[in-house]
Structure 1
């Protein structure tokens, strides 16, 4: 089984499904600070402009998940796990009106996972 760089909890996947019903195709970008701190931001697909300084880490619930290259350098040793918690999150993220917010959790890769990512040129 291929090592992934991002995954989502069942609660996050259920929320993504709900948001897709309302808004259509989605995308995520891991915010690196500024207005909304460092949180996964959910947008309608194409609503957030990704560029050469962003990389796609994979998909969660069929939605691509992006992060800036400089931020990835700090997080590349960790597998990102997108979860949902109660409370208000980023004011620009689509889940805001639901009274919940997406949250990034992480874990370090095991040695064999890291070796696979290095071998595949993903880090």
Structure 2
């Protein structure tokens, strides 16, 4: 399922292009763990197994973006914006070592009362 709820800043698109040039096709999975907080993790497409409970939020170019179903339920009225800030990427995320890291920002959409 693709919901079209994700976008990226120009800086994130540029970093993503660098990573794809180095590693080939990738995907994002929005971290919900304690260690990387709101970091979208970037993995080689063949190295990360998408689970039955993962929701495909949309794409950034040709790069799919996923989130766990439980986290999606908490954020379903939120649009996610992948951005870049100075710092170290998540330990297993492909931007690690580039002195930049992906960060998810969010924007709550207007929701009709009673809508789910």
Alignment TM-score > 0.5, same fold: yes
Q: Give distance in 2, aligned partners of 1:94 and 1:27.
A: 10
Q: Report how many aligned residue pairs link the two structures.
A: 112
Q: Give distance in 1, aligned partners of 2:33 and 2:108.
A: 22
SS for the counterpart of 2:52 is coil
Residue 21 (structure 1) aligns with? 21
Map residues 86-105 of structure 1 onto 2, 5 A cutoff.
Answer: 86-105=86-105
Map residues 72-83 of structure 1 onto 2, 5 A cutoff.
Answer: 72-83=72-83
Is the counterpart of residue 62 in structure 1 residue 57 in structure 2? no
State the shift of 1:39 in Å.
1.2
Question: 5+ residue gaps in structure 2?
Answer: none
State the shift of 1:106 in Å.
0.6
Q: Scaled by the length of structure 1, what TM-score is found?
A: 0.84
Runs of 4 or more consecutive aligned structure 1 residues displaced over 6 Å after TM superposition: none
Q: Give distance in 2, aligned partners of 1:97 and 1:10.
A: 20
Superposed CA offset, 1:7-28 (max 9, x none) = 0000000111111100000100
Is the counterpart of residue 108 in structure 1 residue 108 in structure 2? yes
Question: 5+ residue gaps in structure 1?
Answer: none
Q: Which has the higher helix share?
A: 1
Map residues 29-40 of structure 1 onto 2, 5 A cutoff.
Answer: 29-40=29-40
State the shift of 1:46 in Å.
2.0
Q: Scaled by the length of structure 2, what TM-score is found?
A: 0.89
SS for the counterpart of 1:81 is strand
Does the aligned pair in 1 maintain the 2:81–2:105 contact within 8 Å?
yes
Q: Give distance in 2, aligned partners of 1:40 and 1:24.
A: 18
State the shift of 1:35 in Å.
3.3
